Amino acid sequence: MKKKGILNSDISAVLSYMGHTDRICIGDCGLPVPEGPERIDLAVKFGLPSFMEVLKAVGDDMKIEKVVLAEEIKEKSQDLLEEVTEYLKENGLEGNRIEFVPHSDLKLMTKECKAVIRTGETTPYANIILQSGCIF
């Protein structure tokens, strides 16, 4: 039995087989999951688990070199954007390592992700793509 890190076996497995520049998406409960990436649906009910809880758990267990967020989060979910950017800043990610794209493009980008993790989050545009860095 694991002592720390991600306990969810599906998320743990995806993180363990990811290589440099591979991507994983964490999204709200309404994010469509295309054919291809593994679907990991954590949603229990609206709001549970929250986007930030899952982002922090996954982010603390992987090396992130870049993130992609929807451009619309800047206008529609400013409080969540502040939380996300503060967390990323605390973990050495800021500036040009945060990319903003139209939400329609972000949804298309999920096709190239190893997995899409859906949370119970209902905040608009609570979706992020994390690009794996190299740990050595």
Residue 15 contacts residue 62 (beta carbons within 8 Å): yes
Q: Which of 5, 7, 12, 20 is catalytic?
A: 20
Residues 6+ apart with CB under 8 A from 115: 10, 11, 14, 24, 25, 37, 38, 39, 40
125 labeled binding residue: yes
103 labeled binding residue: yes
17 labeled binding residue: no
Task: Note if 20 is an active site residue.
Answer: yes
105 labeled binding residue: no
The CA-based angle 91-48-124, given to 5 degrees, is: 70
Residue positions annotated with a catalytic role:
20
Q: Which residue ranges are tagged as binding site for substrate? A: 28, 103, 125-127
Q: Which residue ranges are tagged as binding site? A: 28, 103, 125-127
